[in-house]
């Protein structure tokens, strides 16, 4: 059974949603027969390599709400993350473009390193305050996940996997995906948003049953 996940490394709900999926799979009896595929989605494709804004200022400006309201939302997210072992430290977050991070994740697709790399990229952004447009940061995260150093160097030195990122984003657009995370089980059962662990587990079991297992 395939589970496709569209997400962006700059999206805290995506970090939360993926962690919840991991927990749901731990509770799912047939997890060994599930293949999770990470798909690319950029919340802001035109973002510069680095932005001189705090996460609070960026969200407040985007949605026209007060910094206090943003901090309250961040505190809630931080608490939800802690429930599934995800560190969301918004005071450390450095904003920037995630396109190269997505290209690197594409290079790891369908390899034993894919999940570790995706987790590492989310952790670098939200827990460690590292800039995901920095090639040295990306190489370090890729190396820690086990990805071949020569491959990482080759990807980041050029435009490899740019087309694959755009194809994922086009597929999301064609499917009407307007926000992430977005989960799709076997191309037939969509799960929009960072649903709770119980909901994800129920849908996984229902999809498995409907596949005739």
Average pLDDT, stretch 139-162?
A: 97
Give the pLDDT confidence score for residue 213 in this predicted structure. 60
- pTM for the predicted model, two decimal places: 0.96
* Nearest CA-CA partner of 108 in 158, 165, 26: 165
Give the pLDDT confidence score for residue 211 in this predicted structure. 87
CA geometry: angle 111, 196, 38, nearest 5 deg: 20
Secondary structure, 3-state, the chain: CEEEEEECCCCHHHHHHHHHHHHHHHHCCCHHHCEEEEEECCCCCCCCCCCCCCHHHHHHHHHCCCHHHHHHHHHHHHHHHHHCCCCCCCCCCCCCCCHHHHHHHHHCCCCCCHHHHHHHHHHHHHCCCCCCCCHHHHHHHHHHHCCCHHHHHHHHHCCCCHHHHHHHHHHHHHCCCCCCCEEEECCCEEEECCCCHHHHHHHHHHHHHHCCC
The answer, yes or no, to whether residue 144 has pLDDT greater than 70, is: yes
Residue with tokens 């005739």: 212
Domains of the chain and CATH, by start: 2-210 (3.40.30.10)
pLDDT tens digits for range 172-188: 999 999 899 999 999 99
Average pLDDT, stretch 74-91?
A: 98
């Amino acid at each position: 059974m395939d589970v496709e996940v569209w997400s962006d490394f700059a999206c805290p709900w995506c970090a939360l949603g993926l962690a919840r999926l991991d927990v749901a799979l731990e509770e799912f009896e047939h997890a060994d027969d599930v293949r999770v595929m990470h798909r690319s989605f950029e919340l802001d494709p035109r973002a510069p390599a680095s932005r001189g804004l705090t996460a609070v200022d960026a969200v407040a400006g985007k949605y026209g709400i007060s910094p206090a309201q943003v901090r309250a939302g961040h505190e809630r997210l931080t608490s939800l993350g802690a429930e599934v072992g995800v560190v969301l430290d918004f005071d450390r977050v450095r904003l920037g473009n995630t396109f190269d991070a997505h290209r690197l994740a594409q290079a790891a697709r369908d390899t034993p390193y894919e999940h570790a790399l995706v987790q590492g990229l989310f952790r670098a952004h939200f827990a460690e305050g590292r800039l995901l447009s920095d090639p040295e940061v990306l190489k370090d995260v890729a190396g820690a996940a086990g990805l071949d150093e020569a491959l990482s160097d080759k990807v980041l030195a050029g435009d490899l996997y740019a087309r694959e990122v755009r194809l994922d984003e086009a597929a999301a657009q064609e499917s009407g995906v307007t926000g992430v995370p977005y989960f799709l089980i076997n191309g037939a059962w969509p799960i929009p948003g960072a649903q709770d662990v119980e909901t994800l587990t129920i849908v996984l079991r229902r999809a498995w049953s409907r596949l005739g297992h």
